[in-house]
Structure 1
Amino acid sequence: MPWPSQFAIGKLKSFNFVELWYFTDEGCHEAQDSSRAQSDDAYGLTKVDDLVALKPVTSFKALQNVIPDADLIWRQMNVGKNAMLQYLEICGWPPKHIQSFTHFYFNLELDLMRSRPHGEKVLILLGMTNPW
């Protein structure tokens, strides 16, 4: 299973928008490279309810080469959505929300537009322009 950045997982855990790229092969590889380059001992402060807690610095920082959802190619969207759907469950999203995303991506894959010239790009542009 791919391992996205702590930043992306943190966004999902707080039910915030995160680019699908973080869950692609490229995004997960960059997350691994980035975490190796930074010290595992670096922590920052965060607020949890009424408490202050330490959190790894890597969970605060977006990765450098993030690609907006509308600029992904079909393969990246497909790989990314599969990993993201798994992480939605891991991060405790309500089943009805996960089902909505699953249904959305299922309909994108079955849309007849895919078989037309540039159909996949059209579907990405229409469907991925911030579906949240």
Structure 2
Amino acid sequence: MDPLQIDPNLETCPAFDTDIYQIIKTALINDPNSPNITNEEEAIQQLRNTWTAENEARKTRWEQQQEAEREEAAQRRQEAEEADRLQKEEEKKKTEEQKKEKEKTRIPIRPIPSSRGIQRLQDRLHPYAKKKLVARKFFPLWYCLPEASYEATEYERNLTEDTGFSLVKNLDTTYAVKAIDAAKPSPRAKPDKSLSWAEILEAKTVFLTNMPLGDYPPDHIRMFSQFYVNMETHHLLRTLRGKSAFVRYHAKVRWDWYETNEAGNTYNLVIINEDILRDCLNEVESEAMETTMSR
């Protein structure tokens, strides 16, 4: 059924008493199915009753139609409000995610202690050592000495902010931008066997402290720590060439552990291998003897 286009409440009953409806009135009077209509007045009343009944029916339809339209409009408003709410939630979620991503690139601001000032300048771990620690790979312990720390500090001062480039002075006193590798090996680095025993003890603290950069398991950090303790407390260390022997032992065993670990079959550094230590002592004694004889 087609919807009504005009409000039936605005309609008025036609003037059935005028001549324009004369044919209809005459037909009703002469209709044998309408025995109660015998004159024009009764015909006019019949037409008015019929129109009124139809008008009431249209009013009922109109009210139902209006109610349906109101419900449909309310449904559309609810759907629009829900869509708007979901859109705002999505935009809020997107904004929060963008904020979180942005926060990941920022250094968090720590609470300011009211009574504690700077105690000392922080040591800078050399980028090459940091790279190797993160990768859990071997690197010479020299990179944990103050000399390497100073080099790292000076190196960082020459870098432009967030670029990975450095300014290089040309022969004509002009400057050029040169790409650099912040984690390249230092030309001044020394192999472990060339360090003194005092340098090893100084560097090992920085090495152990920074092992968490590589997410080393606690057991492995304790193993390396005990490795140095066991060397420091070994009776051979206090002999004439004991320190030199342990420098040699440290260089060989530390490098070998990383190689063996990478190959998938490692061992416990805590256990000092007396045979290897004795060989290291023999090496340094032989070298000392050759040096003495060549003088």
Report the TM-score, using the length of structure 2 for normalisation. 0.38
Of residues 160, 178, 181, the one that matches 1:57 is: 181
Alignment check: 8 A CA contact 1:42 1:57 kept: no
C-alpha separation in 2, matches of 1:35 and 1:43: 10
Q: Which has the higher helix share?
A: 2
Report the TM-score, using the length of structure 1 for normalisation. 0.80
Deviations for 1:106-126, whole angstroms, at most 9, x for unmatched residues? 111111111111211110101
SS in 2 for 1:58: coil
Of residues 120, 131, 144, the one that matches 1:10 is: 131
In structure 2, what residue type is equivalent to 1:5?
Answer: H
C-alpha separation in 2, matches of 1:18 and 1:115: 28
C-alpha separation in 2, matches of 1:102 and 1:28: 21
Alignment check: 8 A CA contact 2:132 2:139 kept: yes
Which structure 2 residues correspond to residues 41-120 of structure 1 after superposition, within 5 A? 41-43=162-164, 57-59=181-183, 61-120=184-243
- Report the more deviating stretch, 26-35 or 65-74: 26-35
Alignment check: 8 A CA contact 1:21 1:67 kept: yes
C-alpha separation in 2, matches of 1:15 and 1:34: 23
SS in 2 for 1:126: helix
Q: Which has the higher strand share?
A: 1
C-alpha separation in 2, matches of 1:76 and 1:37: 27
In structure 1, what residue type is equivalent to 2:182?
Answer: T
Structure 2 portions without partners, runs of 5+ = 1-121, 166-179, 259-295
**What is the count of residue pairs matched by the alignment?**
120
Identify if the C-alpha distance between structure 1 residues 35 and 113 changes in structure 2 by more than 3 Å, giving closer, same or farther.
same
Alignment check: 8 A CA contact 2:144 2:207 kept: yes
* Larger Rg over CA atoms: 2
Alignment check: 8 A CA contact 2:141 2:200 kept: yes
Structure 1 portions without partners, runs of 5+ = 45-55
C-alpha separation in 1, matches of 2:130 and 2:251: 19
Deviation at 1:64?
1.5
Of structures 1 and 2, the one scoring higher in RCO (CA 8 A, sep 6+) is: 1
Cα-Cα RMSD: 1.9
Tell me if 1:27 matches 2:148: yes
SS in 1 for 2:182: helix
